[in-house]
Every structure is written in structure tokens, then in C-alpha cells.
């Protein structure tokens, strides 16, 4: 007997006459330095060791796991009680931390698994994908490298994790990103946008009907050149002319509503985004379609007092351990499909 875990919702008659729909929640979360306490050979992870700058011992690590598990466990549950189908994550050190995370007592009942491929980042941080096997079934995965325009082999940064899988009976490709930081100049992120656009084009040229979700911490806002021109993610649905075009639902959330995922010097940015292929838009819900978006937050994820009241409550600030969560807020897209 098939156990239905998705939420069946009654959408308004704007869609149909009281039809039932399956809703899948897909998200992204920058976990802000989820390091274990063990040195990884060849990686500059020394500040996250027991004798390092952050005095990163068992107490801090176990509290960090608990905090991350708490957020991940609650993500999406306001709409889908079964929780997330898939969550891309960044700033994770290795497979060990993801195994510890999904096996944490808070998350273990959900039965999550993960995809991780070790990358070349000098500091040792990678991207990964957490998923609920009952809602998303991986078929293949690979790590596409970040390459400079002049093929500078000394420049090593995070690649692009591509996980292809089945969701709602359809093939979905998820590309998880963590683009070069703001310490790098804009062209470094513009290059990332070009490379990811090429990856999307390659996937959709081979499989025109497939769906693509491009997610990550882009270290740029939706209207920066890397996103709007290099990746080609447009602001309005009306600008999407075909299945392979890209729509960025976060652009208006930042510029019209003033909402973001991280705050710097009192100003919100929205670096954490999930961009969708054009075939995820429209009212034909016989296939997966974008339903709505959410910046996920809970009061406990923010500083409640002091000079930085209203900022995200991060792990460390000014060399002080705050026992917080992340300097970023997670983002979620909800995909809907008519139930059969």
C-alpha cells in the first residue's frame, strides 16, 4: 500500500473546482560553518578545532548540530507537515557533519539522507543536499567545477553540486551553489552565473521537459549582474518566454517588500535564492508548478536585544560564541501538482 506523505490542499477556484493537490517543499539554507572538531588533511580548517581560534570543541559542535537540526526540522511544516522534500545546504565541512546532522535525535525521525561530493575549497566548505527519500529520490549526482575564464588552476573554490532525482513522478534537477564571497570582486560571481547558465542549458538541451531548480548562497542580490544578466534570471513571470528561461521570485521580495535573508550594517540583502526554470510556471498543474515562496524564520533565529536586535542570531560574532543558528535565513519554494 502506498503511503501518501504529501499535504493535500484545497486551492481556490482560481486553479480549479476544489481539486486536491500534492505540495512539495524545496529549500536552501547556509548553515554557517558547520565544521566538526577533526582536522581534514589539506584543508584550512584550523580555526574550527578545539585548540583553534574559535575553540571549537565537542560542546560547541553538538550545540551547532542541535540548532541546525531544529531549524531544518521545522522548515516548511507550516504548509507541509511532512517537512521538506529536499534542502540544499552550504558551508558544510564534509560528509561526517551531514551524517551527524541527519542522525541527530531531532531530525532522525524524518528519515532524511544526503548527497555530498568533496570539493576543492581551500577552507574545506562544500555544498550538499539533504532529502527525504519518500518525497525525493536521487538518480544521479555530480560536482561541476568552477573554472576561471583563463583556466587558472590555482584558483580553487566551491563547485556546483547537481543532483538529479524524481519528485512527484517527474525528473527534477537541483543545482546547489555557493558562489565566491563578497571579498572577491563581482566578476568572480559573474563567472559563476555564466557557468551555471551553461549547466542549465546543457541539462535542458538533452531533456527539454525536465524541471530545473538553481539554489544557493549567491553572495549577490537578485538584481546584481551575476544573477540578472549572467545567469539570466528575470524579475517578472511575464518576461519568461519559454521552458528554458529562468525566473527569480526573490527579486520583488527584496526590492518591493524589503525582505532579505541576511543583514549587513542594518541593511537586508537577499543572497539566498532559488531560481526556477520556465516550465515550473503556469496554471497547468498536471505537472509540477511553482505555488509560492517563503523566507523561513522563527523568533529564536534572531537576536532579541542589544545593539544588534533584529539581526540573525549567528554562531559567533566579534569572537564571542553566541550559540546561535546562522547569519543567513533559509528560503523555500513550494511546488504543487494535481493529485491523482
Query: Does 313 map to a domain?
Result: yes
pLDDT band for position 298 (cuts 50, 70, 90): very high
Query: Does 3 map to a domain?
Result: no
CA gap 232, 197 in Å, rounded: 7
Cβ–Cβ under 8 Å, residues 295 and 259 = yes
pTM above 0.85, yes or no: yes
Give me the residue label for grid cell 531533456: 207
pLDDT band for position 1 (cuts 50, 70, 90): very low
Alpha helical stretches, state H, 25-132: 58-74, 95-102
Query: Does 17 map to a domain?
Result: no
Q: What is the pLDDT of residues 74-111, one digit of tens each?
A: 999 999 999 999 999 999 999 999 999 999 999 999 99
Give me the residue label for grid cell 550559540: 323
Across 4-27, average pLDDT: 65
3 state SS for 188-253: HHHHHHHHHHHHHHHHHHHCCCCEEEEEEECCCCCCCHHHHHHHCEECCHHHCCCCCCEECCCHHH
Cα–Cα separations (whole angstroms), residue 119 to 128, 193, 239, 287: 10, 19, 35, 34
Cβ–Cβ under 8 Å, residues 274 and 241 = no
Query: Does 135 map to a domain?
Result: yes
Q: What is the pLDDT of residue 8?
A: 47
- Please provide the average confidence, as pLDDT, over all residues in the chain: 94
Q: What is the pLDDT of residue 2?
A: 30
Query: Does 340 map to a domain?
Result: no
Cα–Cα separations (whole angstroms), residue 306 to 266, 303, 313, 323: 14, 8, 12, 16
Query: Does 62 map to a domain?
Result: yes
Q: What is the pLDDT of residue 17?
A: 56
Q: What is the CATH number of the domain that holds 126?
A: 3.60.10.10
For the chain, what is the domain count? 1
Query: Does 7 map to a domain?
Result: no
Angle between helices 58-74 and 95-102 (to 10 degrees): 60
Q: What is the pLDDT of residues 216-247, one digit of tens each?
A: 999 999 999 999 999 999 999 999 999 999 99
Q: What is the pLDDT of residue 3?
A: 34
pLDDT band for position 15 (cuts 50, 70, 90): very low
Would you call 109 exposed, middle or buried from its count of C-beta atoms within 10 A (0-12, 13-18, 19+)?
A: exposed
Query: Does 13 map to a domain?
Result: no
Cβ–Cβ under 8 Å, residues 204 and 245 = no
Per-residue DSSP letter, 31: E
Q: Is the pLDDT of residue 5 over 50?
A: no
Across 306-334, average pLDDT: 94
> Which residues are within 8 A (CB) of 271 and not within 5 positions of it... i.e. 6 or more apart?
217, 218, 219, 220, 221, 261, 262, 328
Residue 289 belongs to domain spanning: 25-334
Cβ–Cβ under 8 Å, residues 176 and 88 = yes
Q: The C-alpha cell of 64 is what? A: 551547532
Per DSSP, the three-state class of 39 is coil
Amino acid at each position: 500500500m502506498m503511503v501518501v506523505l504529501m499535504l493535500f490542499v484545497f486551492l481556490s477556484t482560481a486553479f480549479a473546482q476544489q481539486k486536491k493537490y500534492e505540495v512539495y517543499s524545496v529549500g536552501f539554507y547556509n548553515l554557517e560553518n558547520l565544521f566538526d572538531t577533526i582536522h581534514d588533511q589539506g584543508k584550512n580548517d584550523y580555526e574550527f578545532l578545539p585548540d583553534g581560534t574559535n575553540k571549537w570543541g565537542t560542546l560547541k559542535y553538538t550545540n551547532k548540530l542541535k540548532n541546525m537540526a531544529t531549524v531544518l526540522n521545522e522548515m516548511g511544516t507550516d504548509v507541509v507537515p511532512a517537512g521538506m522534500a529536499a534542502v540544499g545546504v552550504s558551508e558544510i565541512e564534509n560528509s561526517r557533519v551531514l551524517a551527524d546532522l541527519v542522525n541527530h535525535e531531532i531530525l532522525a525521525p524524518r528519515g532524511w539522507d544526503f548527497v555530498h561530493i568533496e570539493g576543492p575549497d581551500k577552507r574545506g566548505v562544500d555544498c550538499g543536499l539533504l532529502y527525504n527519500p519518500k518525497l525525493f529520490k536521487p538518480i544521479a549526482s555530480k560536482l561541476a567545477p568552477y573554472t576561471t575564464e583563463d583556466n587558472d588552476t590555482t584558483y580553487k573554490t566551491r563547485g556546483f553540486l547537481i543532483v538529479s532525482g524524481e519528485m512527484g513522478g517527474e525528473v527534477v534537477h537541483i543545482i546547489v551553489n555557493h558562489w565566491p564571497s563578497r571579498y572577491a570582486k563581482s566578476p568572480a560571481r559573474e563567472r559563476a552565473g555564466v557557468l551555471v547558465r551553461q549547466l542549465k542549458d546543457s541539462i535542458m538541451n538533452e531533456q527539454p521537459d525536465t524541471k530545473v531548480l538553481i539554489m544557493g548562497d549567491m553572495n549577490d542580490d537578485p538584481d546584481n549582474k551575476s544573477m540578472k544578466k549572467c545567469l539570466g534570471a528575470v524579475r517578472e513571470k511575464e518576461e519568461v518566454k519559454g521552458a528554458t528561461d529562468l525566473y527569480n521570485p526573490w527579486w520583488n521580495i527584496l526590492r518591493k517588500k524589503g525582505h532579505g535573508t541576511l543583514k549587513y550594517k542594518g541593511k537586508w540583502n537577499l543572497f539566498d535564492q532559488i531560481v526556477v526554470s520556465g516550465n515550473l510556471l503556469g496554471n497547468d498543474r498536471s505537472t509540477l508548478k511553482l505555488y509560492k515562496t517563503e523566507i523561513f524564520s522563527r523568533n529564536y533565529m534572531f537576536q532579541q536585544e542589544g545593539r544588534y536586535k533584529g539581526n540573525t542570531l549567528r554562531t559567533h560574532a566579534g569572537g564571542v560564541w553566541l550559540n546561535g543558528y546562522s547569519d543567513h535565513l533559509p528560503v523555500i519554494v513550494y511546488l504543487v501538482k494535481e493529485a491523482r
